Structure 1
Amino acid sequence: MRNYGVVIPAFNASGTIGETLRSVAAQTVRPALVIVVDDGSTDDLGSATGGTDLPVRLLRQANAGPGSATTRGFAALSTPLIATLDADDLWLPDKIERQLAHLEKYPATAGVFCHWRNFRNDRPDAPEAETVAGWSRTTMMIRREVAETVGPIVDPPGGRGEMIDWIARAREAGLALDMLDEALALRRIRPGSLSYGRDAARDRGYLEVARLAMLRRARNKAGPG
């Protein structure tokens, strides 16, 4: 089964979305469809999504956060497999092929992630040496039923932590999520992006994610009643 679609949430990403899409086009296994969800951008994102021969569909919504935009993209795809990617990150050419092979080899696995490494804005050819496990949107490939089982990706206050919460909910639902040891994606670090530095207002989302996880554990421990 090699039929997959891609979801890319995007907000004011006209400066990076073209390079991101070119990294999708360079995959050794190409997608059936790429859904780009414009999350209330004020730049000319639509014009920036051209330039490749990918089948790209652009959806637009009022600004609601990357989780909401990703969930909207899930609903627009009918492929049995879904890969996701942030609009300023990149995939290495065999990323999808390696993940498809893993899912074919392990049919009980619901989703697979990979390692990634950082690069500074316009230097994808000079990434930092360290690679880390990327439990993130950019590294994720899931079977369609995962999205249906776990439900929407909820954006916490501040705009950070939505994937931590969603992955935790997937695990709590008993879904098997695997991590490939290979670095198959690049994470762009640039001023103004959600991944750049520490920010007390944005980091509120992590606290909310931790609070929600504790509440779920308490409910599960208490049982029905």
Structure 2
Amino acid sequence: MARTSRCWPIPPVATTATRWTSRSRRATRRRSPPQAGRWPQATTRSGSDASASGPAATWAHSRTFRPASSGFSSGVLHGRKPAVPEVSVIIPAYNAERYLRETLESVLAQTYRDFEVIVVDDGSTDRTGAIAAGFGPPVRCIRQANAGPSPARNRGIREARGALIAFLDADDLWLPEKLAEQVPLFDPSASLGAGPQGSVGLVYCHAERMDAEGRPLPTPEARKPTGRVLEDFLFRNHCPTSAAVVRRECLERVGGFAEDYIWAEDWHLWLRLARHYAFAAVPRVLVRHRVHPSALTVQAENAYFGARRVLETALTEGDGAALRAARRRGLHRLDRNQALGWLGAGEPRKARRCLAAAFRSRPLDPHLWLGFVASLLPGAARRQVLGLWKRVAPWVPWDRSGRPGELLAELQRREN
């Protein structure tokens, strides 16, 4: 959810719907061996734009991405090579020359070979396009004017030929077995249920964090829910963008990435998919996610408000009490964890703002009261309280590293 230091500028909201056209798959052919070889900081849309998107509008097809009604004739759907369908890997890239080569090499090193790679150069001003084009098949580079990460991913989906769509950020890495372990879970014989309401629409996996140089960072252990996961995903986003592989037919049904969402646009899409399809997961790390300090400091507040917008617009009037309770828990968790993260990062004023929001949903949570008291203490005393708190209640999710400020502190230590 959090943006790296390479952030797209805010894209203009499209005024006309983009439609998919039905494309025929190319016959499977022998792949030649690989050749050797986020954008300026965005802000969260608010005001009239946020308020205008009610539940019904939010969960309809995106007004900037509306696929055609005709289906895609894939091997998965029509019996042709069902266990190993072709995969299209979509990589949106903006000024990503520092990491793109390594990212592409991690895809070309996959033990599963039936894939294509589509790099969408979203108006880069550096050598991003030249690096992608230099790889040759199976890598294709598509250039477009700068529009943002969601429009770039949607452009990649429209250009894709595969029955399965895999997403990868331009600075993340895949382990060699990723596709080989994920693709078989789409096989009907391995599905969690049968039919359009029970078939697997998305397969994901665990990811570990690394810094800008590729060195491991603290990564919390978390379970990956499977099956019908809408309630679980209302509590939190369990799926990093680079971990997801999605059936193309499912994207055709719910629409692609909502282009008026700058932050948490992946979570927004996963929730829409979870309404109709089961999720499956590989229970081990297959992705390395690169974390930049700005993702935890400069951009953290924007990411928080973006995630809050996703949850606030996630439900429709017809959703029952169970889903509404799950959303309340999700909002409380989001507010509380953001507050505790700010405390760990030494930002007590920002922490108190998030604590106030968390109090409204669950005022008797003892961690909120302790957090409020800690936010009033001077720096040294606050750090001592946080350290004691960590030892007494190690399960409290202080921030995304699982410890109060540990991830941010580790990044700062390495930079110094």
- TM-score range relative to shorter protein: 0.7 to 0.9
CA RMSD of aligned residues (A): 2.2
Deviations 1:154-208 (A, max 9, x none): 1455x32000100011112x1111222111100001245xx44453234432232
2:95 aligns to what? 12
Give yes or no for the alignment of 1:169 onto 2:272. yes
Report 1:30-109 matches (<5 A).
30-49=113-132, 52=135, 54-104=137-187, 105-107=189-191, 108-109=199-200
The residue matched to 2:281 in structure 1 has which SS?
A: strand
Contact 1:120 1:188 in 2 (8 A): yes
The residue matched to 2:267 in structure 1 has which SS?
A: helix
State the TM-score, normalized to the length of structure 1. Answer: 0.85
**One-letter code of the match for 2:243?**
T
Where do 5+ consecutive residues of structure 2 fail to align? 1-81, 192-198, 225-237, 321-416
Q: Per the alignment, do residues 219 and 59 of structure 1 end up closer, same or farther by CA in structure 2, a change over 3 Å counting?
A: farther
- Aligned-partner Cα distance in 2 for 1:153–1:175: 17
Q: Per the alignment, do residues 111 and 196 of structure 1 end up closer, same or farther by CA in structure 2, a change over 3 Å counting?
A: same
Relative to its length, the structure with more helix (as a share) is 2
Q: Per the alignment, do residues 78 and 13 of structure 1 end up closer, same or farther by CA in structure 2, a change over 3 Å counting?
A: same
State the TM-score, normalized to the length of structure 2. Answer: 0.48
- Aligned-partner Cα distance in 2 for 1:31–1:92: 16
The residue matched to 1:12 in structure 2 has which SS?
A: coil
Give yes or no for the alignment of 1:210 onto 2:311. yes
**One-letter code of the match for 2:264?**
G
2:201 aligns to what? 110
Contact 1:5 1:77 in 2 (8 A): yes
Relative to its length, the structure with more strand (as a share) is 1
How far residue 40 of structure 1 moved from its aligned partner, in angstroms, is 2.1
The residue matched to 1:64 in structure 2 has which SS?
A: coil
- Aligned-partner Cα distance in 1 for 2:171–2:113: 19
Percent of counterpart pairs with the same letter?
34
Larger deviation, residues 72-81 vs 62-71: 62-71
2:250 to 130, 146, 161: 146
How many residue pairs get matched? 214
Larger deviation, residues 58-67 vs 81-90: 58-67
Larger relative contact order (CA 8 Å, sep ≥ 6): 1
